[in-house]
Amino acid sequence: MQVSVEKIAELLNGSIDGESGIIVDNLASLSDANSSSLSFLANTKYEKHLYGSRAAAVLANEEFVPKKGEKTPIIIRVEDPYSAFAVVLEQFERSTVIAKKGIEQPVYLSSKSNLGNNVYLGAFSYVSDSVIIGDNVKIYPQVYIGENVTIGKGTIIFPGVKIYANSVIGTYCTLEAGAVIGSEGFGFAPQKNGSLKRVPQIGNVILGDHVSIGSNTTVDRATVGSTSIESGVKLDNQVHIGHNVTVGANSGIAAQTGIAGSTSIGRNCMLGGQVGIVGHLDIANNTQIAPKGGVMSSIKEEGRVLLGAPAMDFAHTKKVWVVWKKLPEMQKRLEALESMIKITNPK
């Protein structure tokens, strides 16, 4: 992708210090950049790398003032350089992916399915009956799409993804390799004889717009109704979302997190890696849970930051851990005190 500094500034609503007609064709860090690279300066501790950088242009904060006498690349001033660089990264990524179109062979494409314009369908993919695929959708090889699935425009589905029947995928979503959408939820009814009777899961999964699903992540379909991943949600690799779960808009969930059935995660929540949440809970908006947190009861108050298993308020848990580390020493002191009591007060 080749683009002028002027076009980048327009995309980001930024202003330019320097020549606007320079062309960039790659993105790089300040230290690795070449004469046609776009880079960014989001943290002033890396400012020293700016002055020796070969980059053609650099995204910087609107208030940034370079040192006097130092030569700098062209500066594109934006409100948030890191977020702006992410926008440009997305444009560069999609410029490569979006160029793909056409139907490779062999594939199975049902005559009852409906494809939009500029769709790419990779080899060995399988598209079932009554599937609706929007414009500019890119489906890489070995993807399975079940009956009655709807896929919104601009969505990218990488190799080996499995989308079960009746799932709804929003616009501009990204499903990484090996993700499974709509597999059967974990529902079993205990019987008097100790066996577990399977409870059929006949609902579906709905993904909102701009949802990202990581590699080998599984989102189970609902028992009845829908498992819902709302717009803007980002799921990392190897996340498991149970049946009838709702994940609120713009929440982020890191790798190896598991959320049990019928739990509702609020909007703008952040869950670290290996968090575990039991079923049938409500997690308030703007909740943050640190890695390895174990949540066993609902969180009603918005904006809490939780740590530990069981998850408790961050500051409180740190105090608990200070005491926990002293337990062996405290045990010795307690045993010494008990011995003194026995000596001074024999039975």
Burial-class residue 35 by CB neighbours within 10 Å (0-12, 13-18, 19+): exposed
Among 242, 181, 187, which Cα is nearest to 208's?
Answer: 181
Look up residue 77 and give its two tokens: 């001033």
- If one counts every other C-beta atom within 10 angstroms of the C-beta of residue 182, the result is 26
Catalytic residue among 210, 240, 243, 280: 243
Contact call for residues 33 and 49 (beta carbons, < 8 A): no
273: amino acid identity, one letter: G
Under DSSP, the state recorded for 299 is B
49 catalytic residue (yes or no): no
Encode burial over 202-229: b for 16+ CB neighbours within 10 A, e otherwise: ebbbbbbbbbbbbbbbbbbbbbeebbbb
Under DSSP, the state recorded for 219 is E
Active site residues: 243
